[in-house]
Amino acid sequence: MARITPIDVIKGISGKYGSGSSDYFATNRSSNRIHLAKYLNKPAGPMTEAQVRQTQLFATQQKMAAAWLRANRPSTDNGDKGTEAYQTAQRIKRQLCLSNVRQVILKYMDTDGTVTLPDGSVTTTPEQSGNSNPSGGSGNNGGNTGGNTGSGDEGGGF
């Protein structure tokens, strides 16, 4: 199959197109691959209690990951390459061919905000206001590699 290099206009497309369409474009900025998806089963009615809990858990995980990244990323305090834990997360990102560090952090973060990387290093998420744990448990989050908030190398993606 021929490999097509998209033009700049197509590279910038992301999201729904057309007023009555259920089709979505998603562009992976790191690999420049464009994915087309169709939203088949649109939700009807209000969210269930389980959906609300899952949404709150996801939002909490995203906040904890953002706080961890702010505390460990390259800065004047952490140096040009960030903390040792951040550098380890960068190496894991490259080994697993992930598009951003946030995916690594979410993969190895438990519900309390503790990031346990495979090299044995354990770091905790800095305390922040509103950092409650709606799930009430602990342990690995099952390999969640999503995340669509943030920007640059810390943001989410496909």
Same domain, residue pair 22 and 56? no
Quick check: is 151 in a domain? no
Quick check: is 142 in a domain? yes
Q: Which domain holds residue 26?
A: 8-38
The pLDDT of residue 13 is 64
Same domain, residue pair 100 and 56? yes
What confidence tier does 5 reach under pLDDT thresholds 50, 70, 90?
A: low
SS3 per residue for 47-68: CCHHHHHHHHHHHHHHHHHHHH
Q: Report the number of distinct structural domains present in the chain.
A: 2
Determine contact, residues 23/38, Cβ cutoff 8 Å: yes
Quick check: is 21 in a domain? yes
Which residues make Cβ contacts (< 8 Å) with residue 66, sequence separation at least 6?
102, 149, 150, 154
pTM metric for this prediction: 0.58
Quick check: is 158 in a domain? no
Instruction: Give tens-digit pLDDT for 77-105.
Output: 888 999 899 999 999 999 988 888 999 99
Determine contact, residues 53/134, Cβ cutoff 8 Å: yes
Same domain, residue pair 33 and 72? no
Determine contact, residues 149/62, Cβ cutoff 8 Å: yes
Quick check: is 83 in a domain? yes
